[in-house]
Amino acid sequence: MTEKLEAVLKEDRVFEPSAAFKEAARLNDPAQYEAMYRQSLDDPEAFWGKVASELHWFKPWERVLEWQAPNARWFVGAQTNITYNALDRNLASRRTKAAIVFEGEPGDNQVLTYHDLHREVCKFANVLKGLGVKKGDRVTIYLPMIPEVAIAMLACARIGAIHSVVFGGFSASALADRIKDAQASVLVTADGGWRRGSVVPLKNNADEALAEAPSIKSVVVVRRTGEDISMQPGRDHWYHELMQNASDQCPAEPMDSEDPLFILYTSGSTGKPKGVLHTIGGYQTYTYLTAKYIFDLQEQDTYFCTADVGWITGHSYVVYGILLNGATTVMYEGAPNWPDPGRIWQLIDKHGVSILYTAPTAIRAFMKAGEQWPLKYRLSSLRLLGTVGEPINPEAWMWYYNVIGKGRCPIVDTWWQTETGGIMITTLPGVHAMKPGHAGKPFFGIAPEIVDSSGQPISNPDEGGHLIIRRPWPAMLRTVWGDPQRYVNQYWSQYPGNYFTGDGARRDAEGYYLIMGRVDDVLNVSGHRLGTMEVESALVSHPAVAESAVVGKPDPIKGEAIVAFVTLKAGHTNLEALKNELKAHVVKVIGAIARPDEIRFTDALPKTRSGKIMRRLLRQIAAGETDIKGDTSTLEDRSVVEKLKAGE
Ligand code: WT7
């Protein structure tokens, strides 16, 4: 952990939000934050009950919270529908306000008002019903970042179906695994999507996946790129044809607060990706409040989050949290640097974006491309910036602050996870001073703690430890789909009664948290989570590979790069061509995000006498360290390390 820390450039300055920002902000008084935070912990039921009553419930709750670790039930007995709150509730005062401003990669552009979005969602909800989808059924969504992805999610939620969005960059086999795990009956996809001027062949991938995933009975295909694709009669339907005759009347189904809203797959330290399950009432309440205060959403804002809806950031802060606040969300289909590195800045200029939420890896790539790109555009509409996905190095923070925010815009460095559903640690933009590299303070209702490996709290400022959360919060995951034991083991067993995040962190004397990164075998590549085991099992599924060990190596743009150490089966030789073949194989099995940056062939992997791969050594070797630190006494064969260092 300390090595990771040292890699973070130091920046000791503290930045206050500007007087102008503070004055207009929803929250701008540190004493008020303290009082609200204290109340949220002293009387969580009163606090969250009051927040929830800003939303619509068909039937009120009997109790705000029932907590029997590790099982939480929020707004017990209540009935609601998140689309009623995201859509219907906004019709009265925001009917003609833009809900979604869409920009395709080729530059095509579409605006859906709240009225339009409500109508399209109702229609597609009826389409799903027509295909036999019922409450509790799973619908897999494999779409590019086009309005239909939000329409499909909301249509599921409208009728109580559980959506499972699979990122469009995942391969056919990754899609098949996720469909099978969820036993989805309907797949919503597109003929293709635009990415860096080429077409991502979504329908072709889907066809390949469906050969292995027989639970899918119907496929709905959005026409996006006009690709020539094959349509299987009886199974495959065009979206626009089904929509043509669909009724636009579809009242929101009253759902129990604890009914599932969606499954989202994420990588863990062992085995296959897990289906994180979120439920309706708590998730809507928490994403509503976090979006409102952390992005300081106000009536005239145009908010733009660059994340894909295939990740939790897209669920909570492209779609749900933003629409729940009646705000305008910008959706962009393609790559941020296509056709040139100025694309994001051009979009901000074109649409008058006031709040930008993106990832450190993107900021570092923009930085590398040079400030001439943002300087070409008018960025004066911006008033608030956000970052998420991995620790931000102070150098990138300063660039974001000065070059993009011109020193005017506060930055919120938001720490959270797929499992947490919403932002957990951040500064509040009008309240707190910012410390580059530090995420900041806990949000309302969040009780973080830093503990040593025996679970003892670490109270010394700036001493690193494991980050745990002491109490339940409304948007916490409820289980791992189909594997309740994994839910308990993964999150609640290491520190019984507390949620274990898998991250290391430290806290300074003023209560600011600094996240140091994962302490398990999870990589963070360009803000995306990948299990080392996942990449390893993809590699060993290739006929030439005997064994592999995958580690991360610090990378100036991606945060971590993937280095795979591979031993070959007899008869295969260490050839450059085979390295490329193995990289392509991993892309085929998982998707381009998992492509190893480096493959290193070796005769043997460093193992302990009990046969455990010593990843710590491999991490040091991958990072090019010549002086291998730490205990190597358990190593079975010392010469393996010398050979690996020599690149043999
Ligand atoms: C992991 C969660 C939910 C956001 C997108 C990623 C890392 C996330 C930060 C941050 C330092 C961060 C953590 C976390 N992470 N945000 N602001 N500072 N680290 O969601 O794929 O579930 O990954 O991302 O390591 O555990 P995810």
Show the domains of the chain with their CATH numbers: 526-646 (3.30.300.30)
Q: Using one digit for the tens of pLDDT, what is the confidence trace for 416-462?
A: 999 999 999 999 999 999 999 999 999 999 999 999 999 999 989 99
- Cis amide linkage into residue 339, ω under 30° from 0: yes
Mean pLDDT value across residues 335-362: 97
Position 9 scores a pLDDT of 56
Position 7 scores a pLDDT of 43
Nearest in space to 165 (alpha carbons), one of 314, 307, 267, 321: 314
> Which residue's CA lies nearest to atom 11 of ligand 1?
391
Mean pLDDT value across residues 183-189: 98
- Report the residue count for the chain: 648
Position 324 scores a pLDDT of 98
> Which residue's CA lies nearest to atom 19 of ligand 1?
390
Q: Is 325 in the pocket of ligand 1 (CB under 6 A)?
A: no
Question: How far, in Å, CA of 211 to CA of 80, rounded?
Answer: 37
pLDDT at 622 over 70: yes
Confidence of residue 2 (pLDDT cuts 50, 70, 90): very low
Question: How far, in Å, CA of 151 to CA of 246, rounded?
Answer: 14
Position 205 scores a pLDDT of 98
Position 92 scores a pLDDT of 96
Position 91 scores a pLDDT of 98
Q: Using one digit for the tens of pLDDT, what is the confidence trace for 503-529?
A: 999 999 999 999 999 999 899 999 999
Q: Is 389 in the pocket of ligand 1 (CB under 6 A)?
A: yes
> Which residue's CA lies nearest to atom 17 of ligand 1?
415
Share of the chain above pLDDT 70, in %: 98
Q: Is 439 in the pocket of ligand 1 (CB under 6 A)?
A: yes
CA distances from 15 to 31, 347, 566 (A): 18, 27, 46
Position 271 scores a pLDDT of 66
Mean pLDDT value across residues 94-108: 98
Strand 384-388 with 355-358, pairing: parallel
Question: How far, in Å, CA of 37 to CA of 25, rounded?
Answer: 18
Asked if residue 51 lies in contact with residue 321, where contact means CB atoms within 8 angstroms, the answer is no
> Which of 311, 315, 415, 528 has most ligand 1 atoms within 8 Å of its beta carbon, as the pocket-test mutant?
415
Higher-confidence position of 380 and 270: 380
Q: Is 516 in the pocket of ligand 1 (CB under 6 A)?
A: no
Q: Is 306 in the pocket of ligand 1 (CB under 6 A)?
A: no
DSSP strands (E only) in 88-161: 98-103, 109-113, 138-142
Q: Quote the ligand 1 centre to 389 CA distance (angstroms).
A: 4
pLDDT at 369 over 50: yes
Asked if residue 65 lies in contact with residue 295, where contact means CB atoms within 8 angstroms, the answer is no
Backbone angles phi, psi at 249, to 5 degrees: -105, 115
Tell me the residue type at 316.
S
Q: Using one digit for the tens of pLDDT, what is the confidence trace for 538-575?
A: 999 999 999 999 999 999 999 999 999 999 998 888 78
Q: Using one digit for the tens of pLDDT, what is the confidence trace for 246-295?
A: 999 999 999 999 999 999 999 987 768 999 999 999 999 999 999 999 99
Question: How far, in Å, CA of 275 to CA of 259, rounded?
Answer: 16
Question: How far, in Å, CA of 561 to CA of 598, rounded?
Answer: 8
Please report where in the chains the tokens 């991993």 appear, as a residue.
586
Task: Tell me whether residue 529 is annotated as binding.
Answer: yes
Position 648 scores a pLDDT of 61
Q: Is 294 in the pocket of ligand 1 (CB under 6 A)?
A: no
Tokens of 146: 């086009």
Kindly calculate the radius of gyration of the chain based on its CA atoms and give it in whole angstroms.
Answer: 24
Q: For residue 448, what are the contacts with CB-CB under 8 A and spacing of at least 6? A: 424, 425, 442, 467, 468, 469, 470, 505, 513
pLDDT at 201 over 90: yes
Tell me the residue type at 329.
T
Q: Is 340 exposed, middle or buried (0-12, 13-18, 19+ CB in 10 A)?
A: exposed
Task: Give the pTM.
Answer: 0.95
Mean pLDDT of the chain: 95
Share of the chain above pLDDT 90, in %: 90
Mean pLDDT value across residues 7-35: 89
Nearest in space to 110 (alpha carbons), one of 79, 145, 139: 145
Position 3 scores a pLDDT of 46
pLDDT at 5 over 60: no
